[in-house]
Amino acid sequence: MTWAARFVRWVDQTGNFFANGDPDSTISARIGYHTRPEVKHPGRFWLWLRSVVDWSFMPWDGPFHCWQAYQYDRNERFRGVGIVSGLLMSAFVLLGCVAVVVVNRVWLRYPVLLFALFCYAPEVSGWMQAWLSLVRGLV
């Protein structure tokens, strides 16, 4: 496993830990567990998360990323989700998947585009700086 893959897995496990999950399991595996074929009615929350994650990772893992992650972490403990942990997991999935989509669908295909966007578009970089200062203010 490359350094980048280990880093992404560590970030994913950390997000799962903060969403009241097992620290040795990933969010993708947790979603795969709750949407596995044996579950008759997995719930809209889990199905929505699975569709977002599976779509984001489709170019790398094919259409069943969460199921493959569950198969890899099959022997881990999986917990349900409460309101607060569900909100944390949703936020983590959305932010993480946006990063994955940007890297996979934009950066790897058009690296010059992103370089030009952040170096030569002052209104975009100003917007990013304002957003980062807002996030830093909340933390």
pLDDT per position as a tens digit, 32-45: 999 888 888 888 89
Instruction: Kindly state whether residues 115 and 104 are assigned to the same domain.
Output: no
Contact residues for 32 (Cβ-Cβ < 8 A; gap 6+): 50, 66, 67, 68, 69, 70, 71
Instruction: Kindly state whether residues 40 and 104 are assigned to the same domain.
Output: yes
The string of DSSP letters for 1-18 reads --HHHHHHHHHHHHHHHH
pTM above 0.85, yes or no: no
Q: In the chain, which stretches have pLDDT less than 70? A: 1, 4, 107-108, 110-139
Instruction: Kindly state whether residues 122 and 68 are assigned to the same domain.
Output: no
pLDDT per position as a tens digit, 58-69: 887 888 999 999
Instruction: Kindly state whether residues 63 and 97 are assigned to the same domain.
Output: yes
Instruction: Kindly state whether residues 84 and 26 are assigned to the same domain.
Output: yes
Q: What is the domain count for the chain?
A: 2
Looking at residue 137, what is its pLDDT? 62
Range of the domain at 129: 111-139
Instruction: Kindly state whether residues 70 and 29 are assigned to the same domain.
Output: yes
Tell me which residue of 92, 104, 85, 103 sits closest to 13, measured CA to CA. 92
User: Tokens standing for 71?
Assistant: 């198969």
Instruction: Kindly state whether residues 73 and 128 are assigned to the same domain.
Output: no
Instruction: Kindly state whether residues 46 and 76 are assigned to the same domain.
Output: yes
Instruction: Kindly state whether residues 38 and 101 are assigned to the same domain.
Output: yes
Instruction: Kindly state whether residues 117 and 75 are assigned to the same domain.
Output: no
Looking at residue 139, what is its pLDDT? 46
Instruction: Kindly state whether residues 83 and 138 are assigned to the same domain.
Output: no
Instruction: Kindly state whether residues 72 and 57 are assigned to the same domain.
Output: yes
Looking at residue 84, what is its pLDDT? 86
